Chain A
């Protein structure tokens, strides 16, 4: 409190005192001194007393009594205005209390004095009934106190004291009765003692009849009636608070830990078995050195970890068996801030609220968020972006409060908070702890890890749990009693002293210091070992403090949860909007994401645009003569993969901590994942669109925009979902970036564009079809689709393709297939007399298979005695017959080919002029690509394997045979059963099937499972 404010208060006291006669003002000075002791050191009190006396003197010397009164009223009001603007509400209540005490010193109270007091109460905005209760309690005790629901009595259960209509607590052995009054607006309690025993408020003796404040951390102790050396069971603040608050609350919760323990696999770290119980209205502080298991304890209590032994009961229900029932009741705030850094303070709260309260309209959520902002004292920064580590827009304390607020908004019955004050200043720490304190007053159970709590923070705790090395609990109980406990076991001097008798300061550090105190060696130095080992402390706890639960706790109704998840679709929309806002808030990210695709398009297209020139113009670009088009297609596929991976691989890992929190909300995983995918789809659609727009324009690719975009977009989506898998399955961003090249390189290698499949390792490729490993690569499908589509569907080739295909088929038959059969026949004829050591059997087998196929195909030509094709029964006559048959086929093929050529020539002639065809060809048909898809440089036109002949000639014109989609690379169509499917459609479908498979893998987190499995395997191997 400031000097000025205190002087104003002193003046107020003087004004109040001056209402009475000078000889009746002595008590005022005494009360003023008591009040000043709250804020001023003893040595400075006299200064303020002098000021008080001065003001008293001034009032006394005033001439006109009437003027005095009226001027005093005016002065009083003005003074109260000034004081009002300086004091917080609790301080005002304290002031009113002491003014009331001032009146208590008198034997009679004048109307003016009474009126003065009420004026003060009104100006402090204290509810009238409450101020009346306060004044009545101070002056008259419980007899005139208006609201009995705000009274509590503590008495011996066998005493005759009547407390009719007032709730009470039994305290066996208490001589007399203690009355408590609750002031709800300030969350303060007053009490006075009626009786003859010596009772102590903390270490201070209580005067019977005197009214005291009963604050957080206070306890009333004494000795049992008639038993001088037997202590009375203390009355603790939480017990009193609980009695009052229990009546107003329906959702009450009890937590019982019955022998629960958890040890990490293969290690001695974790939590040892312990028993503990606590309940609503309590704030439990968990203290211990770093690494003793405080966070593990919280994770055990919040259900993240399942205890290996024992149980955790909430209202008599096992936490893990009834997890679903506790949905929304448990809140967990980890140490790290779980905030969306790109969103504003308001937006963080808003979206969290929308996800928690699906039954509330946006307007009501908006109102709730505003209320929360006020409670958290964050209203002034509502529109500020939270910011990241390097560009913080709000302070550490504000971040912590916001972090807490996200959890508090849904009012969980059990709130677990991990080190909420770490890294904060003492004032911020107090603010945060007060916020938590407020939650207990609302009936919640709060369990909080605190590292190095300061005295004011320590005071706020209702229960203390101390952890030692190895997760051993060494104390549970009242915080101040804990200090006494450790000091006593350590045989310290003044073990019973809980706090400084002068200032009330508590030293919580002493607990850990005592616990960890090392042995001193003979040279007077601390050794390596502790005086009392952790096991010993734990044993002490088990022997002296640990409660024993002989039976399962009573089952009680589970408190209602306010959590009401919105419908999955709604969750999806919320996640999506939140994601969009988050991204829009990061301008750098937006810029890079939107510009990288066009830039890459520029680079790839510019450098692969070969200008062959014409006789008229050396630098003229002719599309048909660009030899780099195949390379461009492959690069485009790799670009789509690369940018798809880049924008997605951090997505989930960035949200990992937020997801941890939202786990307790049990939101829809599919809603979350689909929202991510939807956003990435949108971004990938834009990226691939800009890429295709620019690259195709530079390369002169006309009329293929949609085809290119659809393939590249589908490929990018694959990469998006793959990136999400990596993000979800791998634990670190660095690992993801290391893994990405290991993914991209196989995609490139097995795309079919760098090395043709026929040229791969012989053991890998079956030669008929691309190897299976290539079929698993999305790049293979994308590249093939682009190459086939570009070749076949361009404006030049499209009208001619079917004719070219037929022509190719006849040419294959005429030039390669039938000559091969003739070759085999000739060989057989030449080796008929000496078949030993020759390859006749294989050739005959091939001939048999192929002739069989031909006889079915050319049925009208008559049947051929295929059975004669046997090494033992083969004759010259048979060979001649077969040869004639083949010759007839050859002639037919030649005729058909001639017809096809004629049809093609007619089509060309009729549909456009030669100049037009020339222009079409120059602008749409690429020779390098044609050479590639026709495999012009491939010497193997016919593949002979397994006694069958397979076509390898001009794959782009082939008709596939495999009924389930397998075909030679660059085939224009694929077969699915009896149906032929265009390669573009087929490959697109395969890519989307991959996408679906990856989504399923993402949903079930298979990668994470696999990583965990292999880690376990590795650990087992290392162990063995």
Chain B
């Protein structure tokens, strides 16, 4: 599993340069996105690209959503004040992931002023969890210096996230990584579902979200391997609930075939395709919202957590 994660990390880092040019490239880059040259490259990967099985990145999901010119919706992110209700390590860990995703969301949608507050919150939570980032102070300073440079902020965000993951890996705290990832992805899923809003208008995006089923499944497997840890076990229950939602989605099978593009690139197409219809969409949206609320409002199992 470790090697798998290492591979996925490499994928994450290389992702900006690794994309399939969609056959249909009718969509222009988002208007008003003048400073987003690099972002554009992140976003292109999601245009009509096939699903591939890998460790999910909430940021990537959001980047795709962003590429669809969906509007920023205020009030979706986890309020900073909720931080005061996180006393146990489970809630802190889960919501570290949540806040990281929120941070990515704000950077992507260029809400940079709020991004600083969220960055500070992420830093303080990670400190409480005893996650040591070697150049934390420099990162914090860089945030202050690049408040109006979304691409730089995104880079910093990536660096910070990488540092967190690297630290947890290095110090054999994969259980924390699992919980963190669960929180991060759950928030990403929630934000994406909320941003889509109306199924009819954004069916394509909704289907893209559905394709995260397999990624979620992998995440669940990862968590299961660390389920001895009580926090991971708890996070696993959320993932299982989400996976249960995904499992209701029908899967279409396309025949696998290859195609040569105009740029003489071989593109593999085909495989399974997960379909999300409107009722599935709204049901998932509602359920994910409930699950997410439990996490951010720290009302897991009502007012009391289950006995570990």
Contact = CB atoms under 8 A, between A and B. Distances in A.
Contact of B298 (A894, A905, A914, A921): A914
A922 interface: yes
A560 to B, nearest CB: 81
A381 interface: no
Given A811-B130, A894-B172, A914 B308 contact: no
Interface string A887-904: 000010010010001101
Contacts of B137: 939
A624 interface: yes
A614 interface: yes
A524 interface: no
A615 to B, nearest CB: 7
A918 B230 CA distance: 22
Chain B interface main SS type: loop
A807 interface: yes
Contacts of A915: 85, 303
A260 B122 CA distance: 88
A1024 interface: no
Contacts of A615: 79, 81
A143 interface: no
Interface string B73-104: 00000010100110111110000000000000
Contact of B87 (A897, A902, A917, A939): A917
B2 interface: no
B85 A918 contact: yes
Contacts of A41: none
A906 interface: yes
B130 A807 contact: yes
B171 A814 contact: yes
Given A815-B130, A905-B90, A914 B85 contact: yes
A897 B89 CA distance: 12
B127 A905 contact: no
Contact of B84 (A894, A901, A904, A918): A918
B303 A914 contact: yes
Given A891-B172, A902-B230, A909-B307, 6 more contacts: A614-B81, A811-B130, A894-B171, A901-B89, A905-B88, A918-B84
Nearest to A894: B172
Interface string A702-723: 0000000000000000000000
A922 B84 CA distance: 8
Given A811-B130, A814-B171, A913 B81 contact: no
B260 interface: no
Given A902-B308, A939-B137, A815 B84 contact: no
A815 B132 contact: yes
Contacts of A816: 132
Contacts of A904: 88-89
Contacts of A894: 171-173
Contacts of B299: 914
A936 B308 contact: no
30 contacts: A615-B79, A807-B130, A811-B130, A814-B130, A814-B171, A815-B130, A816-B132, A891-B172, A894-B171, A897-B130, A901-B89, A902-B230, A904-B88, A904-B89, A905-B90, A905-B308, A906-B308, A908-B87, A908-B88, A909-B304, A909-B307, A913-B304, A914-B87, A914-B91, A914-B303, A915-B303, A918-B84, A918-B87, A921-B87, A922-B84
B84 A909 contact: no
Contacts of B230: 902
Nearest to B305: A909
Chain A interface main SS type: helix
Interface string A903-935: 011101100011101100110000000000000
A814 B173 CA distance: 12
Interface string B132-168: 1000010000000000000000000000000000000
A615 B80 CA distance: 10
B84 A921 contact: yes
A816 B134 CA distance: 10
A465 to B, nearest CB: 85
Contacts of B173: 894
A906 B307 CA distance: 8
A902 B175 CA distance: 13
Nearest to B91: A914
Contacts of B91: 914
A917 B91 CA distance: 13
A905 B89 contact: yes
A915 B88 CA distance: 12
B25 to A, nearest CB: 44
Contacts of B172: 891, 894
A815 B298 CA distance: 29
Contacts of A807: 130
A399 B130 CA distance: 77
Contacts of A914: 85, 87, 91, 298-299, 303
A917 B307 CA distance: 18
A331 B46 CA distance: 108
Nearest to B297: A914
Contact of A909 (B85, B88, B127, B171): B88
Interface in A921-964: 921-922, 936, 939
